[in-house]
Structure 1
Amino acid sequence: MTELHLWLRHEPRTTERRTPIVPSDARRLVDSGVRLTVEESPQRIFPIEEYEAAGAAVAPAGSWVSAPRAAVILGLKELPDEPGELPHRHIFFGHAYKRQPGAEALLGRFAAGGGSLLDLEYLVDDDGRRLAAFGFWAGYLGAALAVRQHRGSLVAPLVPGSKEELDETLRPVAGDEEFTALVIGALGRSGRGARVAFRTAGIEPTCWDLAETRDLDRPALLAHDVLVNCVLATTPVPPFLREEDLDDPSRRLRTLCDVTCDVGSPLNVLPVYDRTTEWDDPARRLRKEPPLDLIAIDNLPSLLPRESSTDFSAALVLQLLEFGVGGAWGRCLDRFHQACRELGIVEKEFGDD
């Protein structure tokens, strides 16, 4: 078997402090015969010295563009806009298989370079269940920020910290007695995280999942103070909120947190906003009277970078130790080829001029 060369890249987004592989799991990979190169990164929660001590080679930030072609480039979020052709195999969350904005351009770069995208969202087992996910922490932070926004205590810009520090801000306060919250997708990873955060704040949320959304009770939805959506649809479903719902005079809903941030996708279950929110402006007002605020941050777990990275890495390292052409990774590759075909993108054969 050919030696696997993993290249852990720097994340160009300044608010991305997570990593898909933590130093202790880097050591596990190296000890298992994986060649590991780790790029320097000014904001990664774990210092480069810990990776070097684990046996990884160190490379400058962004140097993956000149990595050996056989290297597998590992990251989390979006790539920079250049280079225009991508010859490597990349592992990251591409958000490109549901015709999201920029999907065709990204997949076209892979096709032009002869590379491929092994999207972490589609790294699944035989039953279609995600094998490595940040869902719990995304839900936890989504609910935590929603609680603070509803209480009027959410301060910008957001600052990463520890779970202990965050939980201190969630302690029950006077006035919470009438606080009503709804979690949609309550039985999934993100929904479980949201429920835990609400309970940390002393709030018992209403929990909806498939059974409750098949025949959606919109008046009941709008009767809650806070809604946290944890549903990432993979097939068309009726939207949970529509523009006309926001103007319903009986609406009690004041804070909406969309953990999934599927904005721009035709499968978006909350098609009432057209752009995400950011760390320096985490809540955006959708309606002035009665007020309705939106939180839609697409890298929520980066606010707890150490905890979320450690959990994700523990799951991903098991899959990386079995990296190959079949199984879960084979399904990832098949999904990439399918996405290219659906967009009419002709892939360049590996080794073509």
Structure 2
Amino acid sequence: MGKLKFGIIKEGKIPVDKRVPLTPKKCVEALQEFPEMEIVVQPSDIRCFTDAEYRELHIPMQEDLNDCDVLMGVKEVPIDQLIPNKTYMFFSHTIKKQPHNAKLLRAILDKNITLLDYETLKSADGQRVVAFGRYAGIVGAYNGILTYGKKHKLFDLKPAYLCHEMEDMQEEYFKVKLPPIKIAVTGGGRVAGGAMEVLDKMGIRKVSVFDYLYKQFTEPVYAQLHSGDYNARPDVEVWDSPDFYANPHLYKSTFRKFTKVTDLLLACAYWDPRAPKLFTEEETRKPDFRIDTIADITCDVDGSIPTTKSATTITNPAYDYNPETGVVEPPYSRADNITIMAVDNLPCELPRNASRDFGRLLIDNVFPHFFNGDAEGMLARATIARDGKLTERFSYLEDYANSATNNKEKQETV
């Protein structure tokens, strides 16, 4: 078997993303682990790791990537930068038929590109093997605490994006002095795990769901809430997780009991649009609705958190939701408002750490399949397009991809 050449592309999407799929040290590690592998890096002035850092470890820099077998990025590649007949790996944000990327998928098919999406790389039992979720949780929880402290004029933390590394952010933890509030963390995956890492390191104690609901504390505490803690099927008495994930539309939210005792909500749970929302806008107007700060870390606009009216940016991370009017207002403008943090690209705030984590997952969980003939079929299952066509698993995207052509024809006709 000959060498397989991987090229790390310069991110072209605007706004810029500073993350990389492989850091300089992870490149070295990958090359040691897989002797049949070659890696070259396209020069970039926007990466969180400089060209010099790659050169120091003797990773070749190469502007023209036409001789590469696999091209790797993070975000969507601009259509005019796609090289025909190549294999690409990046987050394409197409599998949910995101309207703004129909043209991208159409171009990938037209240019005969093989596309593997990181989001579709899964183990045989359906678990994702690479993601930035942990760092979404880490930054999201930090931003949630920062927002709560700012709202109540308790402390001012340095924003995560102004910290060079996570270690610098952790230096800010000592400033956190919270009253005996209750913090709810929803979810059981990587995102929730990252959020709880931050709370634990800040010295905030985890308590059981029962104690969270029914006991008073003299210190700040948090509880991790799973789907069964705040959803119920009216016609079934016993919680059944597989049934909930198969039939979320048959369930009702029971989150109301948590809105009466929670001060800060860190929303980290994946939400199926068929599932009930955690609460309603009407419920936010009830006198016993206690939540006044929400970090919507999953950032589903008008999703599980109905007060998330729009995503926010890294530099302007928060806004207020006025429960009385249902209108969005400037952040921290009124004590009775609910302050929402809904940054939709949280891992970008700690790009160096997030990139290291991501590279680790690639080396452990993805690269082996390129050199063992894809024995488990992981790469095949993750392939959205090949030979100018959608693969069978993703054939449901055909109308979506064709919509870009149809829209173009309509515009030309007009």
**Fold equivalence (TM over 0.5):** yes
| Aligned-partner SS, 1:284 | strand
Q: Which residue of 1 aligns with 2:224?
A: 207
| Aligned-partner SS, 1:178 | coil
Q: State the distance in 2 between where 1:343 and 1:36 align.
A: 33
Q: Number of matched residues?
A: 337
- 1:292 paired with 2:290, answer no
Q: Which residue of 2 aligns with 1:26?
A: 27
| Aligned-partner SS, 1:329 | helix
Q: Which residue of 1 aligns with 2:367?
A: 320
Q: State the distance in 2 between where 1:157 and 1:315 align.
A: 23
Q: Which residue of 1 aligns with 2:167?
A: 164
Q: State the distance in 2 between where 1:271 and 1:78 align.
A: 28
Given the superposition, is the C-alpha separation of residues 217 and 43 from structure 1 closer, same or farther in structure 2, using an over 3 Å criterion?
same
Q: Which residue of 2 aligns with 1:91?
A: 89
Aligned partner of 2:256 among 213, 219, 223? 219
The code of the aligned residue for 1:182 comes to: A
Aligned partner of 2:381 among 326, 331, 346? 331
Offset of residue 197 of structure 1: 1.0
Offset of residue 261 of structure 1: 2.7
The code of the aligned residue for 2:270 comes to: L
Identical-residue share of aligned pairs (%): 26
Alpha-carbon displacement from aligned partner over 1:128-166 (angstroms, at most 9, x marks no partner): 112122222211111111001100035679424222221
Given the superposition, is the C-alpha separation of residues 77 and 88 from structure 1 closer, same or farther in structure 2, using an over 3 Å criterion?
same
TM-score (norm 2): 0.72
Q: State the distance in 2 between where 1:218 and 1:332 align.
A: 35
Structure 2 stretches lacking a partner, 5+ long = 151-155, 205-220, 233-252, 323-328, 403-414
Q: State the distance in 2 between where 1:80 and 1:246 align.
A: 41
Q: State the distance in 2 between where 1:28 and 1:156 align.
A: 32
Q: Which residue of 2 aligns with 1:351?
A: none
Alpha-carbon displacement from aligned partner over 1:321-347 (angstroms, at most 9, x marks no partner): 42255621111015863445334246x
Given the superposition, is the C-alpha separation of residues 340 and 233 from structure 1 closer, same or farther in structure 2, using an over 3 Å criterion?
farther
Q: State the distance in 1 between where 2:222 and 2:165 align.
A: 24
Alignment check: 8 A CA contact 2:88 2:116 kept: yes
Alignment check: 8 A CA contact 1:14 1:43 kept: no
Q: Which residue of 1 aligns with 2:235?
A: none
Q: State the distance in 1 between where 2:280 and 2:80 align.
A: 37
The code of the aligned residue for 2:396 comes to: R
Given the superposition, is the C-alpha separation of residues 100 and 238 from structure 1 closer, same or farther in structure 2, using an over 3 Å criterion?
farther
Q: State the distance in 2 between where 1:261 and 1:101 align.
A: 17
Given the superposition, is the C-alpha separation of residues 251 and 123 from structure 1 closer, same or farther in structure 2, using an over 3 Å criterion?
same
5 Å matches for 1:22-61?
A: 22-31=23-32, 32-60=35-63
Answer with 1 or 2: which has the greater Rg.
Answer: 2
Alignment check: 8 A CA contact 1:87 1:110 kept: no
| Aligned-partner SS, 2:299 | coil
5 Å matches for 1:256-271?
A: 256-263=294-301, 268-271=303-306
Q: State the distance in 1 between where 2:118 and 2:337 align.
A: 37
Structure 1 stretches lacking a partner, 5+ long = 347-353
